[in-house]
Every structure is written in C-alpha cells, then in structure tokens.
Amino acid sequence: MKRLLFAAIAATLTASVSAQQPAQPNPRDAVPDKMPNDIPYGAPISLDRAQAAINAAVAESKKRGWKLNIAVMDSGANLVAFARMDGAQIGSVAIAEHKARAAVKFRRETKAFESGVQEGNLHYLLTLDDIIASRGGIPIIDNGQMIGAVGCSGGTGSQDEVVCKAGVDALAKR
C-alpha cells in the first residue's frame, strides 16, 4: 500500500515538472554593483526645523480644508514633533508616526513600498520589518544627508502626500 502511494506521488510530480513553462529570468536575481538608497544618516533635525515643517504642513492642509495628523522623526527614527489638527481622526496618530519612522528607517518615501506592492507585485515587501505600504512618509534631506522625515495621515494617501510634501519642501526653501 505504502509503495503504491509513493509511486502515485512520484508520477504526479513528474507530470507537474514536465508541464512547466521554460523558466523566466527573475529580475530580482540581478546583482547591481552599487548600493541602493545610499543616503548617509545626518545629525538629528532640530526642534525648530521640525516645527517649521509641521507649521507648513498644517497651513497647506488648512488651505484645502483637510484635517490631518503630522509627525516628524529625527535621523534615529525618534519622534521630535507632532500635531493633530482639529477633528483629525485618532487612528491616524499612529499611522503618521509609522510613515515618518519607515521613511527614516528605509531612507525613502513610503510611496516606494506602496508602488512596489501595487504595481511591482513585490508582495515580499509586506514581510519586511516596520514597513508601511502607503504614501505620505517623506525623508528630509539636508546637504545630501538624511536628518529626519515627515509623516502624514488622516486623509487619502494622495491627500496625506500633498501635505507631507508641503512640510518637507518648506525646509528646503529655508
């Protein structure tokens, strides 16, 4: 009985192997020469600049009649400043922080993860630690170094991103 069963399994395996398409090259097997996202971690952002980013973000959000949460993390992914606008949803307090933290930890916009999962079918991204696959987290780069990040949440991802960008851009102008 046992031997028969084994033979049956072996036959099934052989059939499935022969039915396979010729192997497609896996783009993730490519080995690039250079490091991706090789942005050095700079000194932690000061409270003054963090608050300037939040003020600019709040102003942009107000102008559009939106109510969002805005968080700023330093280059060590520690919270520096936070503001919840009147009426902003409380579930997004943690998400705003999460987006800013992920942007610092991975030195890229959280939109990269959203696109990776949605358009790139890179579902493995969701298995990585401390990821959030939703736009609205953007690193703050100063003189080629990352000094922190802004994270916004409370609206659609696209609304979060517009306000987040206003915060980051305000620092670039200063």
Q: Which of 5, 17, 165, 171 is nearest to 99 (CA)?
A: 165
Q: Does 93 bind another protein (CB under 8 A)?
A: yes
Under DSSP, the state recorded for 51 is: H
- In three state form, how does the secondary structure of 103-169 look? HHHHCCCCHHHHHHHHCCCCHHHHHCCCCCCCCCEEEEEECCEEEEEEEEECCCHHHHHHHHHHHHH
User: In terms of CB distance, is 84 or 135 closer to another protein?
Assistant: 84
Question: Which 2-61 residues touch another protein, going by CB under 8 A?
Answer: 46-48, 51, 58
Q: Does 90 bind another protein (CB under 8 A)?
A: yes
**Tokens 């800013």, located at residue:** 100
**Among residues 84, 99, 101, 105, the one that binds another protein under rule CB under 8 A:** 84
Q: Tell me how far, at minimum, the Cβ of 84 lies from another protein, in Å.
A: 5
User: In terms of CB distance, is 80 or 141 closer to another protein?
Assistant: 80
Q: Which of 64, 68, 98, 72 is nearest to 85 (CA)?
A: 68
Q: Does 156 bind another protein (CB under 8 A)?
A: no
Q: Which of 54, 34, 83, 31 is nearest to 171 (CA)?
A: 54
Q: What is the largest CA-CA distance in the chain?
A: 79
User: In terms of CB distance, is 55 or 115 closer to another protein?
Assistant: 55
User: In terms of CB distance, is 83 or 117 closer to another protein?
Assistant: 83
Question: Judged by CB under 8 A, how many residues of this single chain contact another protein?
Answer: 17
- Contact by Cβ (8 Å): 132, 99: yes
Give the interface segment with another protein, choosing from 7-15, 86-94, 110-118, 164-172 (CB under 8 A).
86-94
**Among residues 29, 33, 38, 86, the one that binds another protein under rule CB under 8 A:** 86
Q: Which helix (H) or strand (E) holds 57?
A: helix 47-63
**Among residues 82, 116, 131, 169, the one that binds another protein under rule CB under 8 A:** 82
Q: Which residues bind another protein (CB under 8 A)?
A: 46-48, 51, 58, 76, 78-86, 90, 93
